[in-house]
Amino acid sequence: MTKELLEQYPDICRELEDVERKLHQPVTDTVSGSGSEFPFTQHTVSIRGIQPELLAVKAGLQAQKEEIEGFIRGLPNSRLRRIVDYRVLQGMSWEQVAAKIGHRVSVYSVKRHYYKLFENLK
């Protein structure tokens, strides 16, 4: 897990919502066609469907989201798990995270725990 991927979590969630919205708005178009036998009379045909690449994008985003959530759930230290949860999943500022952790924890110590996690992963 990289810090960059972890910090993309809010954007991944928003993009996933956008893709979901697009999937609920199918693409429609009208084309001209004719019968396969004589007389070949031209007529219009309406087609509807979803863009197949959106399904692939949705699957990729969902996989990234689940990977990030699984990584956070798998952290062994409860305090670190809470810090990452508040900062990444809930989008809190460092000041809000420190206040939520409590126990007279400073913003500096919260940041130090967070960034030390990624130093240990290298």
Residue 119 has pLDDT above 80, yes or no: yes
Q: What is the pTM of this model?
A: 0.74
- For the segment 68-91, the average pLDDT, to the nearest whole number, is 94
Q: How confident is the model at residue 112 (pLDDT cuts 50, 70, 90)?
A: very high
Q: In whole angstroms, how far apart are CA 32 and each of 39, 40, 49?
A: 15, 12, 17
6 lies in the same domain as 53: yes
For residue 37 the two structure tokens come to 């036998």
81 lies in the same domain as 54: no
Of 40-44, 78-82, 116-120, which has the strongest mean pLDDT?
A: 78-82
- For the segment 6-13, the average pLDDT, to the nearest whole number, is 94
49 lies in the same domain as 69: yes
- What digits encode the pLDDT tens for the residues 22-72? 888 776 667 677 767 777 777 766 666 667 788 899 999 999 999 999 999
12 lies in the same domain as 65: yes
88 lies in the same domain as 60: no
Average pLDDT, the chain: 87
93 burial class (0-12, 13-18, 19+ CB within 10 angstroms)? exposed
> Largest Cα–Cα distance of the chain, in whole Å?
85
Higher pLDDT, 103 or 6: 6
Its domain, for residue 113, covers 75-122
58 lies in the same domain as 96: no
Residue 46: the pLDDT is: 64
β partners of residue 48: 28
14 lies in the same domain as 61: yes
Residue 48: the pLDDT is: 65
Number of compact structural domains in the chain: 2
Q: How confident is the model at residue 11 (pLDDT cuts 50, 70, 90)?
A: very high
23 lies in the same domain as 7: yes
